[in-house]
């Protein structure tokens, strides 16, 4: 992962913090007399690796008034090398790292001028400015000098007005700013850059002083370089490692109708056609292929009559193939060159022994891209978790680019959020041991709720978790231990980039932890309530999934909850009592927006999910995901089936559009949300959205009808 990409969290940033001392304050005239830098590694000030060098400013004398500030005079630099000799070493020290400085635009202007004077190439690094970041974190401060910020943040200042001393102080100021920026919703490089660029008056003042822009909006391609690890996979693994076996063959005389049935039954996207002359092993030269697209084109051309045509009439041949022993990159290259999505895999004799599709390549690509799973499992602290977690938006982008649905991507995000929560608990347990609180007093399970439990999380998320433990009373010894654990878990997740739940649905809060007996009693109490306001957040409990510890405890409690809710139609009704679907379509089909966007969670996703959950509880359908719940209800009630299908399709559309918007927003430093820009939608996606909004407009009435159906 590029550690300067926009999605990298500030918490775990690799950077070089720089400072210069000069002959004056006008960057159009001043010369460098000292260069220094210190490293941040994984969000921590490195113990070694600092750079400091005095520089001889040519024939120019150092004015006495500047010497009084930094203490450097002509005699001190007389034997020092000129800038041209110093720059290669300093440039190598910077490397490709993010550069941080206090009023760094001045330093950049000075360095650029020195490079120009020396005839050296200048390439502007990616930068952040602690002065701008401090104004974002604390706009009420009277001043933003390095001394002021150090005093405000409790940072010790040493060797002020020496380049190395100021670089070290600036590094400590930056690290102290990170949690304050997080409180303002700024967690990543891109978000920090975007916030800094909004300080236009400050940036204009700096530009008038001849400074270089302290922060520069990166090009999109620079911000997110996707799937760097994928290439190494393609050169390390062979086609036999990913091929589907055995390949599915049909005779050339098989009808399109029969082939369609086989594709659907075996959940595949193509079949190979063995010609009558083929004997023994089928060689690629003797075979053809028919894909879903071929079948659809035939039906579009010939209509219903196409179903009786033999597939030999529409197959493509000869079959494009790759050797089983060839590396995966060969399959990728051949698919790209031939503009095909399917290849045969052949053995040394040229006989077809397997099949590779673009979907197979996508699966391996996603698996490699989500190397973050292994990194999450291996993370020893919050900064390491943050580094891994920062990969998730890039993985979502690559999967989206490859054609995965928003629903599929949401499942990937949910699984990784579960893994993140699990590792936060592992780290929290270690912290508990190190602080003398010992091991867990009894078996327990850490569970995720809501969208994470359903497998429907997106990139705008917060925490929803709870703890179920074997035994113990509220406020008892066991409960107090798990309260501390829950607090550590919540703090770690918040630091990594999954904010605290605004509704308090976290194991750190008493109502979201308890023994099996406590949870059973709590659930019974919920189901007998009659006030919808008292049931706020209760519904997401029915989505629970264990991510750490003893999963059997959650199974017991979840089963008890569904059993207790059996026949309790009034309870299921209460879960959707306060849920309503706003009117999002105008009279002639236009889409209502606010500032050009529509919040698809508020416009329909929330009510759709709530309805599916309430119906699942009403009909004792213990599936978790919204599509599975709708399918289960559809199979049980045998009415309103087209309406339920429309809701299922609507959820898929909402997820597709939200994921795409979130990926784009994150790349531009905009915190992800559920609001989608309607203007950016293609005509096809706008039509899909209108159909989805029409479908959810009837969800309230449909839910009432199905809840009370006998």
Q: Do domains 10-219 and 407-565 have the same CATH topology?
A: no
Tell me if 496 sits within 8 A of 423, measured CB to CB.
Answer: no
Fold for 240-360, please state it.
CBS-domain (3.10.580)
Predicted confidence at residue 328, as pLDDT, reads 77
Q: Enter the pTM of the model.
A: 0.71
Give the span between the Cα atoms of 596 and 583, in whole angstroms.
16
Residue 99 pLDDT > 90: yes
Is residue 161 among the annotated active site residues? yes
Give the span between the Cα atoms of 361 and 28, in whole angstroms.
54
Per DSSP, the residues of 74-111 read HHHHTTSPBHHHHHHHHHHHHTT-EEEETTHHHHHHHH
Give the span between the Cα atoms of 272 and 606, in whole angstroms.
44
Predicted confidence at residue 537, as pLDDT, reads 74
3-state helix, strand, coil in the chain (%, to 5): 55, 15, 35
Domain residue spans of the chain: 10-219, 240-360, 407-565, 597-707
| Nearest residue to 357 (alpha-carbon basis) of 247, 234, 226, 230 | 247
Tell me if 291 sits within 8 A of 338, measured CB to CB.
Answer: no
Give the span between the Cα atoms of 172 and 604, in whole angstroms.
46
Per DSSP, the residues of 110-149 read HHHHHHHHHT----PPPEEEHHHHHHHH-TT-S--SHHHH
Strands 321-323 and 287-291: unpaired
Predicted confidence at residue 270, as pLDDT, reads 86
Q: How confident is the model at residue 365 (pLDDT cuts 50, 70, 90)?
A: low
Give 302: exposed, middle or buried? Use CB within 10 Å, 0-12, 13-18, 19+.
middle
Mean pLDDT of 283-289: 85
The set of residues, in sequence order, having a beta carbon less than 8 Å from that of 348 and lying 6+ positions away, is 323, 325
Share of the chain above pLDDT 90, in %: 54
Q: What is the pLDDT of residues 450-494, one digit of tens each?
A: 999 999 999 999 899 999 999 999 999 999 999 999 999 999 999
* Alpha-carbon distances, residue 666 vs 227, 288, 663 (angstroms): 17, 44, 5
DSSP 673: -
Q: What is the pLDDT of residues 1-57, one digit of tens each?
A: 455 567 788 988 899 999 999 999 999 999 999 999 999 988 889 887 799 999 999
Least confident of 287-296, 503-512, 578-587: 578-587
Give the span between the Cα atoms of 466 and 531, in whole angstroms.
23
Q: How confident is the model at residue 369 (pLDDT cuts 50, 70, 90)?
A: very low
Mean pLDDT taken over the chain: 87
Q: Which CATH class is domain 407-565?
A: alpha beta
Mean pLDDT of 103-123: 94
Predicted confidence at residue 226, as pLDDT, reads 38
Q: For residues 155-191, b (16+ Cβ closer than 10 Å) or e, as one string? A: bebeeebbbbbbbbbbbbbbbbbbebbbeeebbbbbb
Predicted confidence at residue 368, as pLDDT, reads 43
Predicted confidence at residue 230, as pLDDT, reads 40
What are the helix (H) ranges across 339-405? Answer: 358-369, 372-378, 382-389, 392-401
User: Which residue out of 102, 159, 161, 548 is catalytically annotated?
Assistant: 161
HSE-CB of 362 using CA atoms within 13 angstroms? 17
Helix (H, G, I), strand (E, B) or coil at 486: helix
Whether omega before 424 lies within 30 degrees of 0, making that bond cis, reads: no
CATH of domain 10-219: 3.30.420.10
């Amino acid at each position: 992962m590029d550690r300067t990409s926009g999605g990298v969290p500030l918490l775990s940033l690799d950077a070089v913090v720089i400072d210069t001392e000069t002959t004056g304050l006008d960057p159009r005239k001043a010369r460098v007399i000292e260069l220094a830098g210190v490293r941040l590694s994984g969000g921590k000030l490195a113990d070694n690796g600092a750079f400091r060098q005095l520089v001889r400013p040519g024939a120019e004398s150092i004015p006495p008034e500047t010497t009084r500030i930094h203490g450097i005079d002509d005699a001190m630099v007389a034997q020092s090398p000129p800038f041209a000799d110093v720059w290669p070493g300093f440039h190598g020290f910077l490397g490709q790292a993010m550069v941080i400085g206090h009023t760094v635009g001045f330093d950049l202007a000075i360095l650029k001028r020195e490079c120009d004077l020396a005839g050296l190439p200048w390439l502007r690094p990616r930068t952040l400015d602690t002065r701008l970041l401090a104004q974002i974190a604390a706009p009420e401060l009277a001043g933003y000098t390095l001394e002021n910020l150090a005093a405000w943040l409790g940072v010790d200042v040493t060797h002020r007005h020496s380049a190395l001393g100021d670089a070290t102080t600036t590094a400590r100021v930056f690290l102290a700013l990170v949690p304050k920026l997080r409180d303002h919703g700024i967690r990543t490089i891109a978000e920090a850059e975007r916030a800094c660029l909004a300080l236009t008056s400050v940036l204009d003042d700096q530009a008038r002083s001849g400074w270089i822009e302290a922060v520069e909006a990166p090009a999109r391609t620079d911000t997110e370089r996707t799937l760097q690890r994928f290439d190494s996979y393609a050169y390390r693994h062979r086609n036999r490692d990913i091929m589907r076996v055995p390949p599915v063959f049909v005779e050339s005389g098989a009808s399109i109708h029969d082939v369609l049935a086989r594709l659907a039954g075996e959940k595949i996207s193509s079949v190979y056609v063995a010609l009558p002359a083929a004997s023994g092993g089928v060689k690629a030269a003797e075979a053809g292929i028919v894909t879903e697209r071929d079948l659809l084109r035939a039906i579009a051309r010939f209509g219903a009559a196409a179903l009786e045509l033999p597939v030999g009439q529409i197959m493509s041949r000869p079959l494009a193939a790759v050797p089983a022993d060839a590396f995966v990159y060969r399959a990728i290259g051949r698919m790209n060159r031939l503009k095909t999505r399917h290849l045969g895999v052949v053995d040394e004799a040229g006989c077809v022994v397997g099949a590779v599709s673009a979907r197979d390549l996508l699966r391996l690509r996603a698996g490699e891209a989500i190397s973050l799973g292994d990194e999450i499992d291996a993370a020893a602290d919050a900064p390491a978790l943050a580094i891994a977690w920062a990969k998730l938006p890039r993985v979502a982008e690559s999967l989206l680019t490859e054609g995965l649905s928003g629903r599929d991507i949401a499942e990937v995000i949910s699984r990784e959020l579960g893994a993140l929560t699990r590792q936060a608990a592992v780290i929290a347990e270690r912290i508990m041991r190190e602080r003398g609180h010992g091991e867990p007093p009894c078996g327990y399970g850490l569970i995720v709720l809501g969208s994470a439990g359903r497998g429907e999380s997106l990139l705008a998320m917060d925490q929803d978790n709870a703890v179920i433990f074997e035994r113990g009373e509220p406020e008892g010894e066991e409960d107090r231990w798990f309260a501390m654990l829950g607090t550590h878990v919540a703090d770690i997740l918040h630091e990594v980039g999954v904010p605290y739940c605004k509704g308090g649905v976290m194991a750190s809060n008493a109502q979201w932890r308890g023994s099996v007996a406590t949870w059973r009693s709590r659930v019974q109490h919920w189901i007998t309530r009659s006030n919808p306001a008292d049931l706020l957040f209760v519904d997401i409990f029915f989505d629970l999934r264990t991510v750490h510890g003893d999963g059997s405890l959650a199974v017991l409690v979840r089963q008890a909850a569904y059993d207790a809710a059996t026949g309790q139609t009034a309870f299921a009704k209460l879960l959707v009592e306060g849920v309503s679907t706003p009117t999002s379509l105008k009279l002639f089909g236009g889409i209502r927006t606010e500032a050009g966007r529509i919040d698809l969670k508020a416009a329909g996703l929330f009510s759709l999910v709530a309805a599916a959950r309430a119906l699942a509880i009403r009909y004792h359908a213990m599936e978790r995901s919204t599509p599975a719940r709708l399918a289960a209800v559809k199979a049980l009630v045998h009415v309103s089936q087209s309406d339920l299908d429309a809701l299922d399709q609507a959820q898929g559309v909402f997820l597709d559009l939200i994921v795409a918007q979130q990926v784009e927003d994150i790349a531009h430093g905009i915190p992800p949300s559920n609001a989608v820009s309607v203007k950016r939608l293609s005509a096809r996606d706008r039509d899909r959205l209108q159909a989805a909004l029409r479908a959810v407009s009837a969800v309230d009435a449909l839910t009432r009808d199905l809840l009370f159906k006998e």
